[in-house]
A = this chain, B = another copy of it.
Amino acid sequence: MNEGGTRRPRAAVVLTGSELVTGVIVDANGPWLARELTALGFEVVHLLGVGDRPDDLAAALRYCAAAGCVLVVTSGGLGPTADDLTGEVVATFAGVELELDEALQQRIAAIIARFPRIDQNPAARDAGIRKQALVPRGAVVLEPVGTAPGLIVSTDGPLVVVLPGPPRELTRMWPAALASAPVQALLATVPAPAGRHLRYYGLSEAEVAATLRGLEQERDLAAVEVTTCLRRSELEVDLRPQPGADDAARWLADELATRHADRLVSADGTTTDDLLARALLDAGLTVATAESCTGGLLAGRLVDRPGSSAYVLGGIVSYSNAAKTALLGVPADLIEAHGAVSPEVARAMADGARAALGADVGIGITGVAGPDGGTPEKPVGYVCFCVTTSSGHVLARDRRLPGGRADVRDRSVDAGMHLLLRTVTTAG
């Protein structure tokens, strides 16, 4: 925990909006800002979502100051209506007045004038524009990406960066916030980060914890914060050294990569999706999918990447047995003999996808996603995978995946991606 050593400067994120605290939306700004701030070298103390209530927002800012934060980034509450009160609350927190920025008022009016007319009276519209042009004295204004300007407000405590709530506006305004003089001055005091990121498939958190316990006996690792996170069936291991502990972090990353090399996806954080895309492009191979229980989600994940049309030819979602036979040429008697969920049918689906689409690599997935349809021999979560290639490689798996319907489908897509990656990198 490095209690006595140098710590990174602390930062916090405050998200406003009643839709957050009622659970209507899952916030994306918080994690995005947390990653940015962590990558800049801050220690993020907390992410705090509050409703559109001035007292609660003011209390949140005081709480951040009391936690020793040198930087607070807020999102939301910059709109034209009475509920949008971030600017006013931050001004009060900073102990300064709001002043009308007339030039800004005109720029916002010009933006609003471009928007489609809505049923709103001019007085309400102008009041809204005026409200958005009220700036805490001395604040830096960040030009609107949508209609709301951002603000950078210096206080006796933390520097407060005020950003709009819509994620697209927030992320597009962020570079201007970073480039501003007050943020640049603050960043000059932040030690450079030196995080390491490892990615595994098929490794458990408990195994990593056990390895870490062993390594801690070889070397003092107290100044390296290790976070493990299971996402898309992969274990992501993040190492974040406190200032001065870069060597320890490097040593630890190398040890972790070596000791679990058999299940390492990448030692630099590169994703499976990136690795597979590169491998297919490098080998000049095309791919086609045949999906049953995953219902098109594997194809959707493959074409998620820009430029994927260079190697994804398409896919077939064969939810019914008739579709498996008609579109993929899976013999009806094969289904009859082994069942629609069987290694034999998965292989015939992979071959069928290749044939139907003229692809080099085919993958077939068939399984019992549940909640119904399970049997003692083939329970819910039983999924058969097969990848075949035009050069004659075959890689097959059958797995019993845990969880409910959505879990089984998501894990099947993850497993399919890994099976494709393994096939393409070994059978190239």
Instruction: Give the B-binding residues of A (Cβ under 8 A).
Output: 1, 18-28, 30-36, 38, 43-51, 53, 56, 59-60, 63, 66-67, 81, 118-120, 124, 168, 204, 206-207, 209-211, 213, 225, 227-229, 231, 236, 238, 240, 289, 291, 294-300, 302-304, 306-309, 312-320, 322-323, 326-327, 356-358, 370-372, 403, 405-406, 409
Interface pair B23/A45, CB less than 8 Å apart: no
Interface pair B31/A26, CB less than 8 Å apart: yes
In the complex, what residues of B have CB within 8 A of residue A168's CB?
Answer: 403
**Given A23-B32, A46-B48, A327-B357: 6 more A-B contacts, CB < 8 Å:** A18-B225, A22-B238, A44-B51, A47-B48, A314-B327, A317-B317
In the complex, what residues of B have CB within 8 A of residue A236's CB?
Answer: 24
Nearest Cβ on chain B to A351's Cβ, whole angstroms: 16
A306-B371, A403-B168 given; A21·B50 CB < 8 A: no
- 7 interchain pairs (CB within 8 A)? A21-B47, A59-B63, A118-B206, A297-B297, A314-B327, A315-B319, A327-B327
Pick the residue among B23, B46, B209, B318 that contacts A38 (CB under 8 A). Answer: B23
Interface pair A314/B318, CB less than 8 Å apart: yes
Q: How far is the CA of A298 from the CA of B297 in the complex (A)?
A: 9
In the complex, what residues of B have CB within 8 A of residue A38's CB?
Answer: 22-23
Nearest Cβ on chain B to A50's Cβ, whole angstroms: 5
Q: How far is the CA of A47 from the CA of B17 in the complex (A)?
A: 11
Q: How far is the CA of A370 from the CA of B225 in the complex (A)?
A: 39
Q: How far is the CA of A320 from the CA of B23 in the complex (A)?
A: 41
Pick the residue among B22, B33, B46 that contacts A50 (CB under 8 A). Answer: B46
Interface pair A323/B314, CB less than 8 Å apart: yes
Interface pair B26/A33, CB less than 8 Å apart: no
Q: How far is the CA of A32 from the CA of B43 in the complex (A)?
A: 26
Q: How far is the CA of A426 from the CA of B124 in the complex (A)?
A: 40
A59-B67, A314-B319, A315-B317 given; A22·B45 CB < 8 A: no
In the complex, what residues of B have CB within 8 A of residue A295's CB?
Answer: 296, 299-300, 302-304, 308, 312, 315
Q: How far is the CA of A411 from the CA of B240 in the complex (A)?
A: 37
Interface pair B34/A23, CB less than 8 Å apart: yes
Interface pair A26/B28, CB less than 8 Å apart: yes
**Residue among A31, A45, A319 facing the most chain B CB atoms (10 A cut-off):** A319
Interface pair B22/A35, CB less than 8 Å apart: yes
Q: How far is the CA of A209 from the CA of B48 in the complex (A)?
A: 26
Q: How far is the CA of A147 from the CA of B256 in the complex (A)?
A: 26
In the complex, what residues of B have CB within 8 A of residue A238's CB?
Answer: 19, 22, 24
Q: How far is the CA of A50 from the CA of B231 in the complex (A)?
A: 20
Interface pair B327/A356, CB less than 8 Å apart: yes
Pick the residue among B28, B210, B240, B306 that contacts A119 (CB under 8 A). Answer: B210
Please name the 8 residue pairs, one residue from A and one from B, whose CB atoms are nearest each other, closest first: A296-B296, A23-B34, A295-B303, A296-B299, A23-B35, A315-B317, A47-B49, A297-B300
Interface pair B21/A46, CB less than 8 Å apart: yes
Q: How far is the CA of A306 from the CA of B368 in the complex (A)?
A: 11
